[in-house]
A and B are shown apart, each in its own frame.
Chain A
Amino acid sequence: DIVMTQSPDSLAVSLGARATINCKSSQSVLSRYNNNNYLAWYQQKPGQPPKLLIYWAYTRESGVPDRFTGSGSGTDFTLTISSLQAEDVAVYYCQQYYSTPIFTFGPGTKVDIK
């Protein structure tokens, strides 16, 4: 099974500053068939269900602000929040969907305001 890890476990960033979250998969999630990375990012605010932010490693879901950017390929991925807003306080999870119909989430990264 593909194991997902994230770093850091948590981070505190000043309002307007950049936040960077890393995600690593135990094996590549890049498809040689279509050259897509089978990697998604979700945001979960306290007391709410998760919300899809990004899929295919870098494609923003409709309505997601462009301060959220996904990057990376193969086994190493990054979610960047370019200018942290108060409403971005949340836990962020990466998820692989390469090994369909088996899926795995990373352990999550908590983002707070410094």
Chain B
Amino acid sequence: VQLVESGGGLVQPGRSLRLTCAASGFTFDDYAMHWVRQAPGKGLEWVSSITWNSRSIGYVDSVKGRFTISRDNATNSLYLQMNGLRPDDTALYYCAKGSVIVAGVFDSWGQGTLVTVSS
């Protein structure tokens, strides 16, 4: 299993970014996928999840209405569209794969992509 995040960077408050997670080494469209973030020196915060067929999606309250998760099973890609970014969105964003046992267990993680929101 390999998960490679990209798309992070320095962005001004109020602007947008789109994160991408390129997945390989497993049958992508069999598994739920997740985004988890970690602010510098802080703990883990679950951000968003999407089932294999995109029919069930969830968001942490702090990003509802601003972030949109999506996936393209044809290209084995997971996305996170982040609009209206705020300084407290600054974090390392991890892509994680749901377990075959239960979707809500995160059994593989990428190395993360850093998002910095600052003027």
- Separation of A1 and B34 alpha carbons in the complex (Å): 18
A77: Cβ under 8 A from any B Cβ: no
Asked if B43 and A108 make an inter-chain contact with CB atoms under 8 angstroms apart, the answer reads yes
Residues of A within 8 A of B (CB): 1, 38, 40, 42, 44, 49-52, 55-56, 61, 91, 93, 95, 97, 100-108
B75: Cβ under 8 A from any A Cβ: no
B46: Cβ under 8 A from any A Cβ: yes
- Separation of A51 and B43 alpha carbons in the complex (Å): 14
Q: Given A1-B61, A42-B44, are A97 and B104 neighbors across the interface (CB < 8 Å)? A: yes
17 CB contacts below 8 A, A to B, read A40-B106, A42-B106, A49-B94, A49-B110, A50-B106, A55-B101, A91-B43, A93-B43, A95-B46, A100-B56, A103-B46, A104-B46, A105-B36, A105-B44, A105-B45, A106-B43, A108-B43
CB distance from B21 to the nearest CB of A (A): 12
Main SS of chain A's interface residues?
loop
- Which residues 39-71 of B have a CB within 8 angstroms of A? 43-46, 49, 51, 56-58, 60-61
Asked if A52 and B57 make an inter-chain contact with CB atoms under 8 angstroms apart, the answer reads no
User: Taking CB as reference atom, which chain A residue is nearest B51?
Assistant: A101
